[in-house]
Amino acid sequence: MTVKKHGNRWRAMVRKNGEYLGSRVFDLKRDAEAYERKLLEECADGIDVRQGSRQVSEYVADFHENRELMNRVSEATRETDKHMFKRVPTWFLSLRVKDVKTHHVEKVLAEDAREHTRKEGSIIRYRTTLSAFFTYLMNTRQIITRNPARAAAIPGAQLSPEKIPWLSTEIHERFLIWRDKDKGMAEVALVIYFLALRWGEARAMEVGDVVLDGQPRVLVQRSLSEGKTIPKSTKTNKARWVPISNVVLPILQRKVDGRGKRERLFPALTRTRFKWRLRWDETGQGKNLHSLRHGGITAWAEAGVPVPLMQRWAGHARVETTMKYVHLVGDQASAAGIAMLNAQNQRLGITAK
């Protein structure tokens, strides 16, 4: 028995096949037993729980070396990651790997944002580096079972109207302007908007991903980065179905007609070609291409689409991300939601006597 009385508390001394795995003291016996089960289960799953007692700092050099050896990321990305680790505070580096929680990562991000007045994009990139580091410890080294950085919130992150520029009423005006420049690319922009696609997802979409029977919808299941020929999974590593709006249904019907299922829906689509043909510098109102996706999600919020459904369609890992769009449209979303509720009550004949 490895759980024993320790004064007024309980100590779990966990060993397996004579090897020491860990030890902790708890107020309650059941907590000590749960700790024992957790270590034994992780050990059975191949997790090296002993290595989790080492400090974060002891794995940083290994992380960088592994990325260079595996050659899965560009040299520029590796150099950025090295630069980002110079921003990690000493107190965080001294934590034991297995003890790092999401709130620790959020504290690191908040301190960095406050002390150095970082822009949101810089903080997001910082979190990306930390997430890659803990993914390495989880998948490659098999030291931990979860990535504490993945769910970390960006401090004070808000989506401003400038970042979500075109509401549903405004995108049609943009479309008419773009159509005068290049009809084909203007239609691509409209599809990206109303499906709220990330740029890489639009590039990777195939004809077979478009389903026109029954409820028209598209399957978003891969992403294709610029300069790459082999697609990867989506940002959240999950596929999702997105309904096709009546606005873009005729466009997609033309795009898939008579074509093979494995053909790219938008062949040879690149940022440079897209922006040049639409004269984006003149017509984009100072926005980036990701604004199309932001605008599409905002249109859902305007229409009063329930938040869980918006989250699923958008492929957001965290509901907090989706809620930013609801807060942005504010009273418009509330009014749309009430209108939907009133319409439903009218259909059901629910009235106050």
Q: What is the pLDDT of residues 164-205, one digit of tens each?
A: 557 777 889 899 999 999 999 999 999 999 999 999 999 999
C-alpha Rg value of the chain to the nearest Å = 25
Q: Annotate 70-100 with DSSP letters as a single string.
A: HT-S-HHHHHHHHHHHTTS-HHHHTSBGGG-
Q: What is the pLDDT of residues 97-156, one digit of tens each?
A: 888 888 899 899 988 888 877 788 888 889 999 999 988 888 776 777 778 888 787 776
Tell me if the pTM is above 0.85. Answer: no
- Residue 42, SS3? helix
Q: What is the pLDDT of residues 331-341, one digit of tens each?
A: 454 555 555 55
Q: Determine the Cα–Cα distance for residues 192 and 285; give it in Å rounded to an integer.
A: 17
Q: Provide the pLDDT confidence category of residue 17 given band limits of 50, 70 and 90.
A: low
Mean pLDDT highest for which of 43-52, 141-150, 177-186, 294-303? 177-186
